[in-house]
Amino acid sequence: MQVQPYSLFSDFDIYLFRSGNHTRLYEKFGSHKVTVDGVSGVYFSVWAPTAAEVSVMGNFNQWNSFSHQLAGRWDQSGIWEGFIPGLDLGEVYKYGIRTNKGLLLEKADPYALCFENAVQAGSIVCTTWYEWQDEDWMKNRAKHNSLESPISVYEMHLGSWMRDPGNPERFLSYGEVADKLVPYLKAMNFTHVEFMPVMEYPFDPSWGYQITGFYAATSRFGSPQELMYLISELHKNNIGVFLDWVPSHFPGDANGLHFFDGSFLYEHEDPRKGFHPDWKSYIFNYGRPEVKSFLISNAIFWLDRYHADGLRVDAVTSMLYLDYSRNEGEWEPNIYGTNVNLEAKQFLQDFNIAAYREFPDVQTIAEESSDFPRLTSPVHEGGIGFGMKWMMGWMHDTLDYFKEDPLARKYHHNKITFTSVYMFNENYMMPLSHDEVVHGKSSLIYKMPGDEWQKFANLRALYVYMFTNPGAKLLFMGDEFAQTREWNFTTSLDWHLLQYPIHKNLQEFVKDLNLLYKSNPALYEQQFSPNGFEWVNADDTDNSIFIYLRKSKKNKQVLMIVLNLTPNTFDYRIGVEKDTKWETILNSDEGKYSGSGVEAVISQQLDEGWDGRENSIIMRLPPLSGVVLNQITHKPSAEIKKRIKKKKKATGKKIKSTDKQTVKTTKRHDS
């Protein structure tokens, strides 16, 4: 059972790898079960250009670091490879890498598809073959993922969404999660789910963001095929899947990528570019072609082998700026004298080009907290090429505003209105993510001021604002029913809260909001276009009232959203277009949502102009509420048309079909 010469690489593969343009290295590197000259075994290949020797160690050779040495390729590519007959799927192995200084390093395979579930885990020879059953979804994915379709995302951490009720220490498997999650998301009307990292990671408190196995589904929850089953079941129920992807850094675990062959191979050798001071982790060398091929191939791998519908790229800001979390003197400007990491910028552009070239119906999403320009513009127009970007400014301003006592909100009015200044600069996704409910920040419900009733009323109003504002939506697990504790990755969500009507009714409200978003083209067809949004009243600072329109293409549907963010009830005058009627289609203050039950009735329709419009209405505004109205074009009846025509002949003047009325706007403080 000696190592035999064999290769999966062509000369063109080597050229693409060394030029940074290979996008499917997972078909070449790693361990692959093959048959050579009629003999079954496993082919191994690994990149270790400065190593003196590379061998395969495992149970099959009692972890001997000398007996099964791979051969270095002749072409100076730094690739070591070979075929070991007799090995099969399930074999646990590591690479024994002898550095040019004589040090022996035991490393996991960077391209391994499976890992042991253990500290300093070894790699496992396995396969990602799966018989998918999501053909209908994949055929229609372009429509589901379109920026002109509703995108409402449920962000979740697989290890803490739900645990085994009989043993809270035990994770649910991918398959067990599928059985519970799929019907739940379907009932809640979410369009997509976003999984926090499912790649292999050793340290639970990292939540998955410190990855050692970039090509392996974490073994905590089962096999690759079980994760594929989960994704396939979601697809069969018309729910898309976004995966968190972390090309920004990696940990320094001894079996991982750090100092892989005794040199700075995957990380940048300059610590000002290669070490992250906050996370104590290592930053990829984005300017090295082979590293770029590794990362871009990894992105394509998850889109290809796991049918992911998009990748949410973590910590993009840390990649783009040379001075991120660094003081003066701790970073070096680029050749133009600025703080932009030009190599990372080029990498992100190349990643987006590759992702959309090979899978034009997916979405790439950037978590980026600065105002880096043109992040979601096409690369050929000078942009970075992402499909969407998290709207971090909206998230912070909105939460800061809603934390304020309603009586003080008039002093912070601009935190809501300022968003409209930049809301169409990028294709934004509005996130209420996991980052906002940890580390002492409190849960969403406890960010809200007031007593229990006011907290829930505020949160419902915030959700109306979120779901009716332009852009895609993202809500972290538990926020749909007002989880009261901060998120804790070691335990299940507090599902028992649903026995209390106020929590259950909030869950029903989010369900109805998702349905509202999915069912009304005015809320999604132009969610990334200024043509889909118009202020009606953005200036009522004293009363903390905001009124705006959302419009579908060609204004086939127009919705009006009225936010009353004080506990007062108003009879309020609102400007509307001539000859229009309005019907209430959602009121967050309804009793079924645990609201006070004030009806959002339109008591009068006036010919008199208001808010720069020809007509106006008088509407009852419930306290701490969001109300959504649908515009109905008013067409006079045949009898009225006949009467108007008769009077026009008699007077020669235009007659309005609505009698003029004078109405005094009143204000009440009875809530």
Question: pLDDT category, 659, cuts 50, 70, 90?
Answer: very low
Give, for 422, the enclosing helix (H) or strand (E): helix 419-422
* Residue 573: pLDDT over 70: yes
Tokens at 350, concatenated: 């190349």
Sole residue written with tokens 């990334």: 528
Q: Cα separations (Å) of 32 from 40, 92, 419?
A: 11, 13, 51
pLDDT for residue 666: 35
Digit-coded pLDDT (tens) for 8-31? 999 999 999 999 999 999 999 999
- Choose the catalytic residue: 367, 397, 479, 590: 367
- Choose the catalytic residue: 13, 91, 134, 314: 314
Question: pLDDT category, 117, cuts 50, 70, 90?
Answer: confident
Establish whether 367 is a catalytic residue: yes
* Residue 643: pLDDT over 60: no
Give, for 414, the enclosing helix (H) or strand (E): helix 414-417
* Residue 657: pLDDT over 90: no
Digit-coded pLDDT (tens) for 500-529? 999 999 999 999 999 999 999 999 999 999
Question: pLDDT category, 377, cuts 50, 70, 90?
Answer: very high
Tokens at 215, concatenated: 């090509």
* Residue 225: pLDDT over 90: yes
* Residue 662: pLDDT over 70: no
Domains of the chain, residue spans:
11-124, 151-388, 532-668
Question: pLDDT category, 656, cuts 50, 70, 90?
Answer: very low
Digit-coded pLDDT (tens) for 262-303? 999 999 999 999 999 999 999 999 999 999 999 999 999 999
Q: From CA 157, how far away is CA 647, in angstroms rounded?
A: 68
The dihedral sign for the CA sequence 346, 382, 153, 134: negative
pLDDT for residue 649: 61
C-alpha 513, offset from chain centre: 19
Other C-beta atoms lying within 10 Å of the C-beta of residue 653: 7
Question: pLDDT category, 120, cuts 50, 70, 90?
Answer: confident
For domain 532-668, give the fold. Answer: Immunoglobulin-like (2.60.40)
What is the rounded average pLDDT for all residues in the chain? Answer: 94
pLDDT for residue 650: 56
Question: pLDDT category, 646, cuts 50, 70, 90?
Answer: low
Architecture of domain 151-388: Alpha-Beta Barrel (3.20)
Q: Cα separations (Å) of 438 from 167, 169, 433, 487, 581?
A: 24, 20, 10, 6, 45
* Residue 139: pLDDT over 60: yes
pLDDT for residue 152: 99
pLDDT for residue 664: 34
pLDDT for residue 665: 35
Mean pLDDT of 637-646: 52
Q: From CA 10, how far away is CA 79, in angstroms rounded?
A: 12
Burial track 558-592 (b if 16+ CB lie within 10 A, e otherwise): bbbbbbbbbbbbbbbbbbbeeebebebebbbbbee
pLDDT for residue 185: 99
* Residue 652: pLDDT over 80: no
Mean pLDDT of 60-89: 97
Q: From CA 401, how far away is CA 556, in angstroms rounded?
A: 33
Q: From CA 483, how far away is CA 503, in angstroms rounded?
A: 8
Architecture of domain 11-124: Sandwich (2.60)
Q: From CA 147, how far away is CA 524, in angstroms rounded?
A: 8
pLDDT for residue 647: 52
Query: Among 301, 291, 348, 263, which residue's Cα sits nearest to residue 112?
Result: 301
Q: Is the fold of 11-124 the same as that of 532-668?
A: yes
